[in-house]
């Protein structure tokens, strides 16, 4: 039975992925900051199937201590899902908070590459796989996307370059790039339930379960097949014309 480690497992896509992989017969290591949510998730899915680790993904010492505590059969990781991440603020760059920018960079980039680097020797030894959660924001800029879109572009490019470096090892790498998914994501970004609800009104957005199913499908492809990237959008989301500012 393979083992997957999923970061950011306390809500949204991360939580849905824990449930999807556990239901499909995987051992799941679920990580996140909110211990009470992790405990509830393990109780719901079964401690024999889901093992939880509560730590801040940005804290390398806490991460290493937690990983060192993993019992059998959860200690041998076959798949890393780098799901933990966030967006903060929708202001234009000239009005944005530098603190928001650095928090997104620390979480979406630095912590992601750090845990990937930590687990790579094990993943290479086990001919495992990595699924990184990027975003359509990696490919399509939009007003207010500034640092967030840049972090997700990094995740996409990091995934592609991992593929290049890992050629011949048997390790598979995929970048998952969703559009609008209704989760706590927009609540965290806007700080308002009303503002978050307004984003999704009438859109019929994707769900966390939709993305979790896509990840499970990628993970369960035969070992000779690599899905480089998947871009997903709800039917009611597409591209806009170029922005144009007219003077006078």
Tens-digit pLDDT profile for residues 158-175:
999 999 999 999 999 999
Least confident of 4-18, 155-169, 177-191: 177-191
Q: What is the pLDDT of residue 185?
A: 77
Residue 113, H or E segment: helix 111-125
b/e per residue, 144-173, with b = 16+ CB within 10 A? bbbbbbbbbbbbbebbeebbeebeeeebbb
From 140, 142, 148, 200, the catalytic residue? 148
Say if residue 140 is exposed, middle or buried (CB neighbours under 10 Å; 0-12, 13-18, 19+).
Answer: middle
Q: What is the pLDDT of residues 40-49, one digit of tens each?
A: 999 999 999 9
Return the SS3 of 230.
Answer: strand
Fold of 3-232: Rossmann fold (3.40.50)
- pLDDT band for position 88 (50/70/90)? very high
Say if residue 82 is exposed, middle or buried (CB neighbours under 10 Å; 0-12, 13-18, 19+).
Answer: buried
Q: What is the pLDDT of residue 207?
A: 96
- pLDDT band for position 148 (50/70/90)? very high
User: Cα 170 from chain centroid?
Assistant: 22
Phi, psi of 141 (to 5 degrees): -70, 155
What is the DSSP code (8-state) at residue 90?
-
Provide the mean pLDDT of the chain: 95
User: Cα 167 from chain centroid?
Assistant: 23
Report yes or no: 105 and 155 within 8 Å, Cβ to Cβ: no
Q: What is the pLDDT of residues 45-66, one digit of tens each?
A: 999 999 999 999 999 999 999 9
- Structural domain spans, the chain: 3-232
Q: What is the pLDDT of residue 150?
A: 98
Question: How far, in Å, are 12, 86, 168, 242 from residue 119 at the CA level?
Answer: 24, 22, 18, 41
Phi, psi of 189 (to 5 degrees): -70, -45
What is the DSSP code (8-state) at residue 183?
S
- pLDDT band for position 153 (50/70/90)? very high
Q: Is 140 a catalytic residue?
A: no
Q: What is the pLDDT of residue 200?
A: 87
């Amino acid at each position: 039975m393979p083992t997957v480690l999923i970061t950011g497992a306390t809500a949204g896509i991360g939580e849905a992925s824990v449930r999807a992989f556990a239901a499909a017969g995987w051992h799941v290591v679920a990580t996140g900051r909110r211990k009470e949510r992790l405990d509830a998730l393990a109780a719901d899915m079964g401690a024999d199937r889901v093992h939880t680790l509560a730590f801040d993904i940005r804290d390398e010492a806490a991460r290493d201590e937690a990983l060192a505590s993993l019992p059998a059969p959860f200690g041998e990781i076959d798949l890393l899902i780098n799901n933990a991440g966030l967006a903060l603020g929708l202001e234009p760059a000239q009005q944005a908070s530098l603190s928001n920018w650095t928090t997104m960079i620390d979480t979406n980039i630095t912590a992601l590459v750090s845990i990937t680097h930590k687990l790579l020797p094990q993943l290479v030894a086990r001919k495992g796989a990595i699924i990184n959660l990027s975003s359509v924001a990696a490919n399509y800029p939009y007003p207010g996307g500034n640092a967030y879109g840049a972090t997700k572009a990094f995740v996409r490019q990091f995934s592609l370059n991992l593929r290049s470096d890992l050629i011949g090892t048997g390790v598979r790498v995929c970048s998952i790039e969703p559009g609008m998914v209704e989760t706590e994501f927009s609540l965290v970004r806007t700080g308002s339930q009303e503002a978050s609800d307004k984003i999704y009104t009438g859109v019929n957005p994707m769900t966390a379960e939709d993305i979790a199913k896509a990840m499970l499908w990628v993970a369960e492809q035969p070992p000779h097949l690599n899905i480089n990237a998947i871009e997903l959008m709800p039917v009611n989301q597409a591209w806009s014309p170029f922005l144009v500012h007219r003077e006078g």
